[in-house]
Structure 1
Amino acid sequence: MKYADYIEQIEIESLWSGTKHIVWNLDRNVNILSGINGVGKSTILSKVVKSLAQGGEFPSHLLKGVHLKVQPEDAKWIRFDAIRSFDRPLMNSDTISKLDLSLATELDWQLFQLQRKYLDYQVNIGNRIINALQCGDPDAALQAQKISESKKLFQDMIDDLFKETGKKIIRTENEIRFSQIGETLVPYQLSSGEKQILAILLTVLVEDQKPYVLFMDEPEVSLHFEWQKQLIELVLKLNPNLQLIMTTHSPAVVMNGWMEHVTEVTDITF
């Protein structure tokens, strides 16, 4: 399967009952869609995400009127993740009840699913570390250390972000858990903002530095001002091969050198 490294252009025909046409030429790394409420930022992102198949196959699954140009041009698949903004109550709790879980919000459910991906990620890097150590190369130990660098970077980032409340990731645990003044906390006990930044960075970590497209719709909603300012930098540091496509209303998100990556909806609408 040939995967795209990034999306070069998004074209949407006949948006809003045929009254508008969207053509958005994208940057390799950071793309920020801005505009007043109701202008259609979230609709554009949602339309693109819905057009992609579950596994990322796109030419035969695109919704009518959605066209993507990718690099390389002959790629048929895209690795992508989509992150929602709001910590809303779960509307359908049947699945949760069957699993005997005490999850109350959509972010809780996302974090539960990410915990499973985090376990798979750790198994994967664990196997790669073993293979590196067994290969017999003189720099085997250095190779093994390099494989685990992203996980350590993620843990250091979260510890730094949460330091004011005294929370620290317990690094000996297989799942994400925190210590705080002698207590052990699970992610579902965090505040909405803490859950949101954890979900974003954990999503990026388990991409394992592969080329990915990350869609985020107003990720700043629950985030502290200082976290908003750091968000793009943190995401790209964890996965330099990522392409970010996001909407925002927050000046803080773009103030650390990202203004030139902002596109107004009206500039891509015809």
Structure 2
Amino acid sequence: MQEYADYIVQIEIDSLWSGRKHIKWDLDRKVNILSGINGEGKSTILNKVVKSLGKSDNISSHGLRGVHLKVFPEDATRIRFDMIRSFDRPLLDTDAINKLDISLATELDWQLYKLQRKYLDYQVNIGNRMIEALQSGSPDAAKKAQEISEPKKKFQDIMDKLFSYTGKKIIRTENEIRFSQIGETLVPYQLSSGEKQILAILLTVLVEDQQNYVLFMDEPEVSLHVDWQKQLIDLILELNPNVQIILTTHSPAVIMNGWMDKVTEVSEITDK
């Protein structure tokens, strides 16, 4: 038995909006885009699924009744997932933040703070794997070590390219994410809302370390420049080809780079 599922095959919800609608959505292995008018239930569907999985990633013991997931392989009991929400709202509960003695103002700042911790763990893990590869005595040990570090380098190259219009570059000698701009060092919390948003999305993908997992995104285009919206799906898949993307959007730009056939209307998966 494989403990963790590779991806979700089907989402079925019995009781959307107090049982007035039944949802049955067959999913693509890679990219799934849910579209529809405001109030039709796009975000509700994603939120129901995420809440049903809870913090334990457990497929079989859902936190909400009426949510059923078919996964691959069928006998998997858990699934790795992340949820990206798009609103850079002010933090409501600042007590815990104040205790950490850090200056965070928004929910995106808090997400980025937690991602920094995961990024440090990720670097330790790949560092250990590189050392193991180099000490293996294999003729291609150096090549294997380079391959292990490639996703991190790709992430850094992508961020440099995206931020090149303002002259920002990742400082590659730092353990935490820092940027240089005209001789000044910037932390992520000093970025614009759009820059924070794209950094949070791509950093979330990177620290999953190329594992099979599901990335839920609720209107990720908010705050993003239209050029970044067009690139978003391709950049995510470039960083982790094993991810399954499930997102809601109102933006035509998100699907412009060849993803039109991955769009599903809420009405198409709803039985009234």
Q: How does 1:100-111 map to 2 (within 5 A)?
A: 100-111=101-112
- The equivalent of 1:248 in structure 2 is 249
Residue 218 (structure 2) pairs with residue 232 (structure 1): no
Letter in 2 for 1:185: L
- The equivalent of 1:83 in structure 2 is 84
Residue 210 (structure 2) pairs with residue 204 (structure 1): no
Residue pair 1:55, 1:79 contacting (<8 A) in 2 also: no
- The equivalent of 1:179 in structure 2 is 180
- The equivalent of 1:73 in structure 2 is 74
State the shift of 1:188 in Å: 0.1
State the shift of 1:260 in Å: 0.2
TM-score (norm 1): 0.99
Residue 13 (structure 2) pairs with residue 23 (structure 1): no
State the shift of 1:60 in Å: 1.3
Residues in 1 aligned to 2:26 and 2:95: alpha-carbon distance in whole angstroms: 42
Deviations 1:187-207 (A, max 9, x none): 000000000000000000000
Residue pair 1:114, 1:202 contacting (<8 A) in 2 also: yes
- 3-state SS of the aligned residue for 1:240? coil
**Can you give the 5+ residue segments of structure 2 that lack an aligned partner in the other structure?**
none
State the shift of 1:142 in Å: 0.3
Residues in 2 aligned to 1:71 and 1:142: alpha-carbon distance in whole angstroms: 32
Residues in 2 aligned to 1:217 and 1:14: alpha-carbon distance in whole angstroms: 20
Residues in 2 aligned to 1:17 and 1:256: alpha-carbon distance in whole angstroms: 37
Letter in 2 for 1:241: N
- 3-state SS of the aligned residue for 1:193? helix
Residues in 2 aligned to 1:254 and 1:79: alpha-carbon distance in whole angstroms: 25
- The equivalent of 1:146 in structure 2 is 147
Q: How does 1:26-175 map to 2 (within 5 A)?
A: 26-175=27-176
- The equivalent of 1:190 in structure 2 is 191
- 3-state SS of the aligned residue for 1:148? helix
Residues in 1 aligned to 2:174 and 2:252: alpha-carbon distance in whole angstroms: 37
State the shift of 1:53 in Å: 2.7
Letter in 2 for 1:256: N
Letter in 2 for 1:133: L
Residue 10 (structure 2) pairs with residue 9 (structure 1): yes
Residues in 2 aligned to 1:111 and 1:28: alpha-carbon distance in whole angstroms: 28
Letter in 2 for 1:125: I
Residues in 1 aligned to 2:17 and 2:3: alpha-carbon distance in whole angstroms: 33
Letter in 2 for 1:82: M
Letter in 2 for 1:211: N
State the shift of 1:62 in Å: 4.1
State the aligned residue count.
270
State the shift of 1:55 in Å: 3.1
Q: Which runs of structure 1 show a deviation greater than 3 angstroms over 4 or more consecutive aligned residues?
A: none
- 3-state SS of the aligned residue for 2:18? helix
State the shift of 1:148 in Å: 0.2
- 3-state SS of the aligned residue for 1:214? strand
- 3-state SS of the aligned residue for 1:22? strand
TM-score (norm 2): 0.98
Residues in 2 aligned to 1:120 and 1:53: alpha-carbon distance in whole angstroms: 23
Residues in 2 aligned to 1:133 and 1:170: alpha-carbon distance in whole angstroms: 25
Letter in 2 for 1:226: D
**Can you give the 5+ residue segments of structure 1 that lack an aligned partner in the other structure?**
none
- 3-state SS of the aligned residue for 1:141? helix
Letter in 2 for 1:94: D
State the shift of 1:15 in Å: 1.0
Residues in 2 aligned to 1:53 and 1:31: alpha-carbon distance in whole angstroms: 21
Letter in 1 for 2:240: N
Residue pair 1:51, 1:66 contacting (<8 A) in 2 also: yes
Residues in 1 aligned to 2:111 and 2:55: alpha-carbon distance in whole angstroms: 16
